Every structure is written in structure tokens, then in C-alpha cells.
Amino acid sequence: MMFGTFGYIIIDDMELLDALYQTGITFTTVGFGEIAPISDLGRIFTICLIIFGFLVFSVAIGLIVDVLNRGELQKVIKERNMLYDIARLKQHFVICYHNEFTIQVSRQLRESHIPFVVIDPHENIAELAVKYKYPYYVQAEPHTEEAILKSHLSSAKGIITLADNIADNIATIASMRLYEDEIHRRRPFLIISNAPTISDEQKLLKLGADKVVTPTNIMAQRINAMAIRPDMENLLQEFLYKQDTPLDMEEARITKTSWLTLKRIKEASFREVANVTIIGIRNKDGHFIPMPKGHTIITAGAKLLLIGPSEGIKKAKKIIRKTVKPEEMNHV
């Protein structure tokens, strides 16, 4: 339209509105006639404009029909709606790559009511998402900007990268840490990965992974536990590895601003307030104190190993995060 309008203005010295109108009826092949006398050169230009307009509309209609036949329009609409839903997520996990590990991890997250998004480059990810009940998915390479933006990574709690080869895990971890620096995220992403060997585990930890799981190492530890203490292993599996159990065990970090910093264990009174027991302390230097005494000092940066009901542990963590001693603790 712009090309035709300027063409009539230059060739036949038309007014802007007349040139625009002449272009509209010519370009759309309506053919109401000449608005003003047109020169021979102007008529040649009009013929070219008609042919060009016809080609543009023919190609446009062909593209629309092709999109409808291949179901691309429905795919685009579905993806757009899903991206809107993903944009509303907060503190979710982004799981990279679909495989057997992803299937099991996603099942556990669903049972724990933790939101997650699966990223995988395969074209059949939509069918896999339906089959394995992935609520949200993104078809892209996890380390690309497209995947980072579509998965709403800026609001995610962490990333779980479970590639079949270590190179993909390395690329994903590096990309996530760079993105973390770009957005000046206050709290670093929790990055969990898998590695085939112990040496690969050390590489991923050095690159920025927080936790790395080595299947062979985990299997060896479980087998040893079963062989040495079979009854204890059954107990842990019953209460700690299953969902919706009356007993749970978690770590809680003591920050500098926590009111518990430099306080004694007995002052926490978690057993009386939340039915939770402190069974260990890991200090900032890595030294672990099992079954600490009541007079043990809690230092900043230490991690308390808590055991008790899930709701009680949530309450204990909430108490730990407070900067001032809660009023309820004064009555214990």
C-alpha cells in the first residue's frame, strides 16, 4: 500500500488521499476505475500493482489454508495459552530433557503438589506430555534464550537437568548461571543434575551445580545400607522416601538475621512448639555434630537437621526465619 501510494504521487502527481484510495482499489483488484487521469506510465504501474496484489493475496490464502490443514493454528493457540499459565507460576521447577529420570521425578513432584515445566527439544514432546502427565512443557533446547523465557525461569525455584550426556548438562548449567547474573537474582537458582560417574559429578559441582546425583553411587549406598542395616533401611524407606507419611526429615539453614543465631539448642524449643527434634547440626565449615546437646551454640550459616511431621517442620522453618523471637516461644 505504501509503495503504490508513493508510486501514484510520483508518477501522476496525485493527492495523498487519492493516491491511497487508487492503490487500495487496485491492490485488492476491486477495480472501481481511475480516480484521476493516469498517464501511460501510470497505467503500466497499475498493471504491475494489480499482478503484485493478486500474487500477495494468493500466497496469503495458500499460507492460511496450509496452516489450517497442518493444525499449526491450533498448536500456536495452545502454546500461547500454556505460556500464559506458565507466566503465572512462582517457585516452580524447570526440568530439562525428557527421559526415564524425568518421568519419575515429575511423578514425585506432582504427588508433592510442586509445579514444574519440562523442556525438551524433541518434536513429539506434546504427545509425551499427555502420556506422562506433564502439566506444562516447552519444545526447545534447554540452554537457549527461548527456553529460558518460555519456562518463566526468572520466577523459578530451581532447575533439574537430567540429560543423557554430560555435555548437555554442562551447557544448561552454564546458561542458567549466566542468566542468573543477567537478571541480578537475589537468591541463586537451585540447580540439580545427574552424572554418570564420580569424576563427572565433580565437574558439574565446579561448574555451578548445587546437587549432583550419580545413579551408581546412590545404588551402591542403598545396597550397602540394606546389607548392613536392613531393618533401618526399611524404616527410612517407609517414613522418609514415601509421600504423605507422618515423619519427615529436612535441613533448615540459619541466616545471620535469624533470632536463633548464637542461641543455644535448648532455646529453640522446637519439640514443645512444633513436635520437631534437632538431630544434627552442620556448621558453616562443614563440621557435623550428631545429636547435639542442649547447650550447643547455633552459629550463622549452620544447617539444622530436623525430624518430625511435615507440618511441624514447616512451622519450625517459619520460626527460624523470624528476626525476633516469636511471642509464643516465651511461654514454653
pLDDT at 34: 80
Domains of the chain are: 2-69 (1.10.287.70), 77-213 (3.40.50.720), 246-331 (3.30.70.1450)
**DSSP bridge pairs for 213:** 194
The CA distances from residue 183 to 116, 133, 178, 180, 209, in Å, are: 21, 31, 9, 6, 18
pLDDT at 186: 83
Buried b (16+ CB within 10 A) or exposed e, 111-140: eeeebbbbbbbeeebbebbeebebbbbbbb
pLDDT at 198: 84
pLDDT at 225: 65
Q: Is the pTM of this model over 0.75?
A: no
pLDDT at 117: 96
pLDDT at 238: 56
Tens of each residue's pLDDT in the chain, 332 residues: 898 899 989 998 888 988 888 888 887 777 777 878 888 888 888 888 888 888 888 898 888 888 777 766 777 888 889 999 999 999 999 999 999 999 999 998 998 889 999 999 998 999 999 999 999 999 999 999 999 999 999 999 999 999 988 999 999 999 999 999 898 888 899 999 999 888 888 899 998 999 999 887 777 776 776 677 666 555 555 555 555 556 778 889 999 899 999 999 888 888 888 889 998 999 988 888 888 888 999 999 999 999 888 888 889 999 999 988 888 777 66
pLDDT at 63: 85
Contact 88, 156 (CB under 8 A): no
**For 152-197, what is each residue's pLDDT tens digit?**
999 999 999 999 889 999 999 999 999 998 988 888 999 999 998 8
The strand ranges marked E within the chain are 93-96, 116-120, 137-139, 158-161, 190-194, 211-213, 248-253, 263-264, 277-282, 288-290, 297-298, 303-308
